[in-house]
Structure 1
Amino acid sequence: MKRKQSGMTLIGFLVVLAVVGFAAYIGMKLFPMYQEYYAVRSAMKGLASEPGIGDMDPSKIQDLFFRRLYINYSESVKKNNVKIERMEGGWNMKVSYEVRRPMVGNLDVVGVFNTEQALTRKGSAE
């Protein structure tokens, strides 16, 4: 009695390889966008823990923010993407920006990122 072989054919293996390769390609295009977003979030959280940030001038806050982004090689966030508004006990910082990366041919992937952080720390005692 013959045993029936089971397993993946070469064509099936190539199809799976193509799907996995395409998913890896998409991941390589998307990862830097999200890495930059998390750099923006960590810069904002770092500012929130800065002593006296609630009493600083908005231009000084913006300068500190972009210094932190410069360290992380962030290029998508521009000065007009950052809004700093007065709130009770300090400032509210909002960052809204868009990242566009070419995908395949004339297709692009677009990421729209919005985040905000309260900057209310008064001094080192808090």
Structure 2
Amino acid sequence: MKRSQSGMTLVGFIIVLAVIGVFVYMGMKTIPMYSEYYAVKQALSGLASEPGIVEKDPAKIKDLFFRRLYISYADNIKPENMKVQRKDAGYVITVDYEVRKPLIANLDVVGKFNAVKELRRGGGVD
């Protein structure tokens, strides 16, 4: 009577472990990029809800925005990535930036992020 074995071989298990490891490593590189983007969105929402923000000049709005980002340890956003434009009785703030993190050897993970927020007298509306 012959018994057949079923299951995964050691080589198969090592291959599955390697694939899972690559995805975990990629997640470790990309999750901080998205948490930084979330901090940008939170800073913009906080700016929009601040009373009297529309009466401030663009330089003061930029300063307030970067103060909020400083609290969140968002280091990839530079002043040249942010535009404050006058629109009607308020402003439109656009934050457009790119994050590049090395992955393996000469491969990089690149994230392009764009956040837009409109500031108006009655509160911010996207």
- TM-score scaled by structure 1? 0.92
Q: Letter of the 1:81 partner, please give it.
A: N
- Are 2:18 and 1:6 equivalent residues in the alignment? no
In structure 2, how many angstroms separate the alpha carbons of the residues matched to 1:88 and 1:4? Answer: 77
1:20 alignment partner in structure 2: 20
Fraction of identical pairs, as percent: 59
Structure 2: give runs of 5+ residues left out of the alignment: none
What do residues 22-41 of structure 1 show as CA deviations (whole Å, max 9, x unaligned)? 00001001111111111111
Note the C-alpha offset of 1:73. Answer: 0.6
Kept after mapping to 2: 8 A contact 1:92/1:118 = yes
Q: Letter of the 1:70 partner, please give it.
A: Y
Aligned length: 123
Note the C-alpha offset of 1:116. Answer: 0.4
Kept after mapping to 2: 8 A contact 1:52/1:122 = no
Note the C-alpha offset of 1:122. Answer: 5.0
In structure 2, how many angstroms separate the alpha carbons of the residues matched to 1:122 and 1:33? Answer: 31
Superposition map of 1:18-97 within 5 A: 18-97=18-97
Note the C-alpha offset of 1:89. Answer: 2.3
- TM-score scaled by structure 2? 0.92
RMSD across aligned positions (CA) = 1.3
What do residues 30-62 of structure 1 show as CA deviations (whole Å, max 9, x unaligned)? 111111111111100111111111221111111
1:115 alignment partner in structure 2: 115
SS in 2 for 1:69: helix
